[in-house]
Structure 1
C-alpha cells in the first residue's frame, strides 16, 4: 500500500486489489480521512476460501488462490476497462512477488508489469535460487532439506539453518510441499518482467542484491508525513501517541509481533512479567486473537499491576517507531517491522515466529549487529528473567545504539535525491510513463 501511495503521489491512477476477506477488514478499520482523501482506489475479488475457512492455513490458501483468483482478476480488469469509455483503463499491473501469477494475467492481456518483494532481497534470492539449492544438494526435488545444519547463498551473507528456509517452517510436510510448489510457480511467473523491486537498500543487503541483476532496491518504503492510510487490517489505537508524549526520551520499550504471531498463555505471562521487571515504561500491542482467541480483557496474568505499561490492540507503528520516547523494539522481525525499526535508528530484541523472520534475526544480530536474541529455558519458554536481562544488556550497550544510528543514516540516504533507491524508483517511474 505504501508503494501504491508513492506511485499515486507521482500522478498515477492506482487501483489496489485486495481479497474480499482483507477488503472487508480494511474497510472496517479505515478512518474518515482515508475514506474521503485517499489517492488509491480499492477493489477486491474472492480468494477461493469460504467465510468459515482459516486463512492462516497458508497451504490451503495457496491452493485456493491459484484455482480462483487469476480468472477473477482478468474479469475485474476487463470490467474496469469497459467503464466510462475506458478513461480509467488499466495499462500496467504491479504484483506482490507472492502473487506473481498476476503477471501471467498481464501477459495474457498484453500489458506490462512489475513485481515488488515485501520481504528481504535475501529471501527473494532463496526463492529464485530454489533450483540451484536442489542442484547443490541442499534441497531435494520437493523442496525439503537433504542436509541438516547451515548453509550460505553467498560467502558474505549470514548463515541460514536449513530448518529456517521459509517454506520449511510452516505447518506439516504436506503444507510445506504445497507452499514450496506455489513459490516455485511464482518464481516462474516472475520472469514475465525485468522489474524486480525490493523494499531494501544496497547497504543492508549488498551480497543478496548481487545475486541477480534484476534486483532493484527502492526502500525504505515508508510514510514520512501525515497521510490517509488504507493499509491497516485493524483499527489503530491513537491513544498510545499521547501516552508516548508523556514518557521521557529513550525510555519506552515497544513490543509488537505483527499480524501472524500467536503466543500461548504461559509465554505471554512471562513476557508481561518480564516487562514489569525492567522497571521501564512499555507499549505492548496485543491483537484480540493473540492468545488462543481469548478476549484481551481476560488474558493478563493474575496480579498484573500495569502501572508502567500501555497495552493496545493495534498501533500506528511508523508513528510509534519515530517517537523520541522509544528506547528499543522487541519484534518478531517481520521485514516491514525490521525496515521501519532500522529507519528510526532503534536497537532490536528479536523474537522470530516463523518463515523469513529467523533469517531477518540473523541479519539484525549477526550481520548488522544492532540487536540481540532471547534464549529459551528448559521449559521451552523465554522467561521473565531473560526478558529483563536482555533489555538491560541491550540498553546498556552504547556501541550498539551508535551502530543503530549509523545504519539509520545510511538507509535514509538511499531515498534522498542521488541515493540508489531514489534513482531506481525514478527510473521505474520513467519506465511507467514511457
Structure 2
C-alpha cells in the first residue's frame, strides 16, 4: 500500500497547486500532489511552459499538470532569478486567474470545482487570487522549520538591531528563534550574501514576502515531521507537517532524465561501501574546486557514485583532471542525474556527500544515511547545522585558507564519518522516526487526512 493511502469514498476536493518554477520547488510539489490524490482529492498542478517541457515523467499518474507562460522569451536566461521572478509576478497571475474561472464556471465540473489553492511560499499572488474567488488557501513551505521561523522573526531581528532594513547584518550574534529549534548565526540567514549586496537585497525581499503569504493562508503545509522538530508545530497555529515527502516510485517532476543503469552498478558493490555525491540542481563549482572534488573521491579509494550535471562547474563544461576517468574506472560511476530515493535506499550506500538542500536532507534522513555536508547557498547552511550539530547524523567539510575544500579534507572527513558508530546509530533512529510519521496512524499521515477533509467543497 502507498504511504498516506487512505480509504475515502468522497472526491469533492479539488486542489490547485502553484509551484515556483525551480527543481527544488517543483519536486516536492509533485510529491505532495500524489499524496493528495491518494487521499481522494482531484489535483491540478500549475507550472510554467518552459519547466513543463523539461519534466521528464509528466505523463504518468493521476495528477493533471497545466502549464502557463512565465513571460520570458525562449532565448532569455531563466537562471536570472530576478528577471524570472519579476516576469512571473507580472504574467502568471493573469493566466492562473483565467484557469480558475475556466474550471469553476464549467457546469460539467460539478463537485470538481477548485476548493483550495496551495501556493508556493514564493507565489503569494496565487493566494490573493484564491481569496478573490472565495477559495480556501494554503501555503506550502518547502524548506526547513528553522527557515520559516527566521522569516517570521524578521521584524524582531530589525527591531533588535541584528539586521538592517535591507537584511544586512549589524550584529554577529546567534539568534534563538524557538526553544527547541537550533540557534541561527547570521552566516546562516537565507539571504546572507555579503559579497553580492544587490543579490542579497533581492533575496531578502523574497524572504520577507513569505510573511505576507503566511497571513493569506488558512493553513501552512510543511515538508517535515513531528519527530524531527517537535517545536515546529508551535511556530504557527495553522501549521501542518506532512513530511517526509517521498516519490515512492511515482513521478517526481525531474528536469533531467534519471540514469537507471547506476542501480545495477550499485547492486555489484559491497554493502555499506559506496559514497553517493550529489549537489542538487543549482550548486556550481569553480574548475579548481571541481578538480579537488574529483581527486578527493579518487583519494578515498572507495566506490563512489557522483551526479555530475552538465553545468556543475563554471563554464558549463565539466573537465575532469587528466587521467581521472581511467584511474577510477573500476571504482567510480558518474551520471548526469540519478534516481536519488532509490540510490539512498540501496544497501550498498555508505554515506551521502550533499549540498544539504532540504528535499535531499529529508530523503537522506528517511533512508538512514549519514551525511557529509557541503552547503552552497541560502538555507543549506542552516540545514547543515541541523544535520551536524542538532541531529548529529553527519559531519561538515571545512574550507582551507583559499576557500577550497581540498581532496585531503574530503578523505579525512569520509574516514571520520564512516568510523562513527554514534552517527550511524543516530541516522537509523531518524529513519525510524520518519517511517513512523508516514505510516498509517502516523503524525504526518493523520495531518494529511485532516487537511483533505478541511478542503472539501
SS in 2 for 1:98: coil
Partner Cα distance (1:50, 1:179) in 2: 24
Partner Cα distance (1:428, 1:291) in 2: 42
SS in 2 for 1:16: strand
String of CA shifts for 1:37-57, please: whole Å, max 9, x gaps: 421111111223333333333
Other-structure match for 1:63: 86
Q: 1:55-204, aligned counterparts within 5 Å? A: 55-82=78-105, 85-86=108-109, 88-169=112-193, 172-204=196-228
Q: Is 1:254–1:282's contact at 8 Å kept on the other side of the alignment?
A: yes
* Residue 418 (structure 2) aligned to one of 367, 370, 395: 395
* 2:265 counterpart of 1:243: yes
Cα displacement (A) at 1:158: 2.1
Q: 1:24-423, aligned counterparts within 5 Å? A: 24-26=53-55, 29-30=56-57, 35=59, 37-82=60-105, 85-86=108-109, 88-169=112-193, 172-224=196-248, 226-227=249-250, 229-296=251-318, 299-304=319-324, 305-307=327-329, 308-423=331-446
The two structures have a TM-score, normalised by structure 2, of 0.88
Give the number of the structure with larger relative contact order, counting CA–CA contacts within 8 Å between residues 6 or more apart: 2
Inter-CA distance 215–171: structure 2 relative to 1 (3 Å threshold): farther
String of CA shifts for 1:357-406, please: whole Å, max 9, x gaps: 00000000000011001111122211111111110110011111011101
Partner Cα distance (2:335, 2:223) in 1: 28
Partner Cα distance (1:275, 1:171) in 2: 30
Q: Is 2:283–2:376's contact at 8 Å kept on the other side of the alignment?
A: yes
Cα displacement (A) at 1:282: 0.4
Range with bigger deviation, 181-190 or 244-253: 181-190
Partner Cα distance (2:396, 2:67) in 1: 39
String of CA shifts for 1:283-330, please: whole Å, max 9, x gaps: 00011111124344xx11101012211100001111111111111000
Partner Cα distance (2:71, 2:186) in 1: 32
**Alignment RMSD (CA, Å):** 1.9
String of CA shifts for 1:79-100, please: whole Å, max 9, x gaps: 3445573355323211122222
Q: How many residues align?
A: 424
Show structure 1 runs of 4+ deviating over 4 A.
none
Q: Is 2:115–2:456's contact at 8 Å kept on the other side of the alignment?
A: no
Partner Cα distance (2:160, 2:316) in 1: 46
Partner Cα distance (2:351, 2:157) in 1: 36
Partner Cα distance (2:317, 2:80) in 1: 22
Gaps of 5+ in 1: none
Partner Cα distance (1:107, 1:211) in 2: 23
String of CA shifts for 1:331-379, please: whole Å, max 9, x gaps: 0000000000011101000000000000000000000011001111122
Partner Cα distance (1:322, 1:144) in 2: 41
Inter-CA distance 89–418: structure 2 relative to 1 (3 Å threshold): closer
* 2:39 counterpart of 1:10: yes
Inter-CA distance 55–380: structure 2 relative to 1 (3 Å threshold): same
Partner Cα distance (2:35, 2:179) in 1: 35
Cα displacement (A) at 1:266: 0.8
SS in 1 for 2:240: strand
Inter-CA distance 46–170: structure 2 relative to 1 (3 Å threshold): farther
Inter-CA distance 186–159: structure 2 relative to 1 (3 Å threshold): closer
Range with bigger deviation, 206-215 or 284-293: 206-215
Partner Cα distance (1:86, 1:427) in 2: 24
Partner Cα distance (2:97, 2:263) in 1: 42
Cα displacement (A) at 1:110: 1.5
